[in-house]
Every structure is written in C-alpha cells, then in structure tokens.
Amino acid sequence: MNQRRKDRTKAVLPVKVKGKDSTGALFEELAHTLDVTAGGARLGAIRRQLNVLDEITVFYRQRKMQFRVVWVKKLKGTSEFQVGLQALVQDKEGWGLGQEQQS
C-alpha cells in the first residue's frame, strides 16, 4: 500500500542536521534534501546511522524544523544514508516553496 499522502517536490536544498545518531552520540552535519513536502522530506548525504522514530532538527536558511525519522537506507558501496523524515509540525512554508506546495 502506498503510504505517501502528499505530493513530493524535487528539491536539492542545503541543510544542517542536528540530533543523536544510532549510538546515542550527538552530531551536527551538513546534508541536502532530495525532495520535500509540507509534511516531510527525504535527505541525502547523511553520514551517520540514525534510528527510526528518533527526532532530529533540520536547519534551512533561517528556519528550524523538527522531524521524526521514518526510514533509513544505506546506499550500497558508500558510507552514506538516505533518510525519510516526517515533520512534527506541518508547515507549508517550511521549505520556502509555498507556490509549489499550495493545493
């Protein structure tokens, strides 16, 4: 069954990610979005293993957004992960893509 509820907007946006990795260590690193919705995002270039259900903070421009990790995928042959995120608070303007996000 398709769990996606919102249309994705392809957007490669630079972000800073803060949280705890799977070992419980605090981290802060640069990454980027691959696509975004008002209710979530898919990140690439994550170099830490994260746990599903962990909460992380994503900084984009002057915005600070809270997300829950809903899936993690290690990219074959690399030390990078892709991470699926669900927003803890829905914000159509969170990514500054309001024109494309409005229905």
* pLDDT of the residue at 78: 94
Average confidence (pLDDT) over 41-47: 97
The residue with greater pLDDT, 94 or 72, is 72
* pLDDT of the residue at 91: 72
By DSSP bridging, strand 26-37 and strand 63-74 are unpaired
* pLDDT of the residue at 98: 62
Average confidence (pLDDT) over 30-43: 94
pLDDT tens digits, residue range 51-90? 999 999 999 999 999 999 999 999 999 999 999 999 998 7
pLDDT tens digits, residue range 15-30? 999 999 999 999 999 9
